[in-house]
Structure 1
Amino acid sequence: MNTSEKQRFSKLIHDMLARLDEEKARGQEGQSVVTLDQQSVGRLSRQDALLSQSMAKATQARRDVQAMRLTQALARLETDEYGYCEDCGEEIALKRLEFDPAVTRCISCANG
């Protein structure tokens, strides 16, 4: 992978991390504690609120995993390990990396 490609993937990864941070900020409200006041919120409304809270937390957990994978990809970029399959050592196709810059296996190894 040449310097230009490394810079392009570094920018792509940083942009994706920034987007995840923005989504995290927007999703904070959905993860807040649901109040127990039965006077202001009916039982079904409370169940809906709990379900929404649960979904918001699950979404944030997926964002956290993606952010971790992207951070690890940045570390591989720094050590010149980025773009190579962790199983066979062959180069990962650029189109595959463009689709998911955090990918660590070539298509052959990923398929088993």
Structure 2
Amino acid sequence: MDEPTDSELRDRYLPRLREELAALRSASADTAEARKPVELDQQSVGRLSRMDALQQQAMSAAQDARRQGRGRAIGAAIRRIEAGEFGYCDGCGDFIGLKRLDLDPTIMRCRECAG
């Protein structure tokens, strides 16, 4: 199979990447309240409830950190598309392959270089 052109790659992956990035940003905004510091008012909330609130806050913060990391990877993929460098291995420079890119368009290495 021939390598797709930059235009074909842009048309195939850019909408998907932008949609995922928008969804990540929306999810981050929706969970901002859950990441706020937990009030430690011992008069209104019991010890176990505070511990549970702290655990929920930590889990929400960790989930948002993963979203931020994925967002950075998507942003880098979008920049590669715009620069005409998308779809080529960071290691060897060969085309990564559509099947691999279809699984994760943020991937930067071919199967051989990924190890």
Task: Give the TM-score range, shorter chain.
Answer: over 0.9
Q: Deviations over 1:65-86 (max 9, x none)?
A: 1111110111111111100000
* Rounded Cα–Cα distance in structure 1 between residues aligned with 2:30 and 2:114: 33
8 Å contact from structure 2 (residues 91, 113) kept in 1: yes
Residue type of the alignment partner of 1:33: P
Query: 1:15 aligned to 2:14?
Result: no
Residue type of the alignment partner of 1:96: R
* Rounded Cα–Cα distance in structure 1 between residues aligned with 2:89 and 2:10: 16
Q: Deviations over 1:45-101 (max 9, x none)?
A: 101100110111111111111111110111111111100000011111112112111
* Rounded Cα–Cα distance in structure 2 between residues aligned with 1:20 and 1:95: 24
* Rounded Cα–Cα distance in structure 2 between residues aligned with 1:56 and 1:97: 29
Query: 1:59 aligned to 2:59?
Result: no
Normalising by structure 1, we get a TM-score of 0.93
- Within the candidate set 101, 107, 110, 1:106 is matched to 110
8 Å contact from structure 2 (residues 87, 96) kept in 1: yes
* Rounded Cα–Cα distance in structure 2 between residues aligned with 1:95 and 1:22: 28
Query: 1:36 aligned to 2:40?
Result: yes
Q: Between Structure 1 and Structure 2, how many residues are aligned?
A: 111
Give the superposed CA RMSD.
Answer: 1.0
How far 1:4 sits from its partner (Å)?
A: 2.8
Which ranges of 4 or more aligned residues in structure 1 deviate by more than 4 Å? Answer: none
Q: Unaligned 5+ residue runs, structure 1?
A: none
**What residue number does 2:77 align with?**
73
Q: Unaligned 5+ residue runs, structure 2?
A: none
How far 1:36 sits from its partner (Å)?
A: 1.2
Q: Percent same amino acid among aligned pairs?
A: 42
Task: Describe how 1:41-52 pairs up with structure 2 within 5 A.
Answer: 41-52=45-56
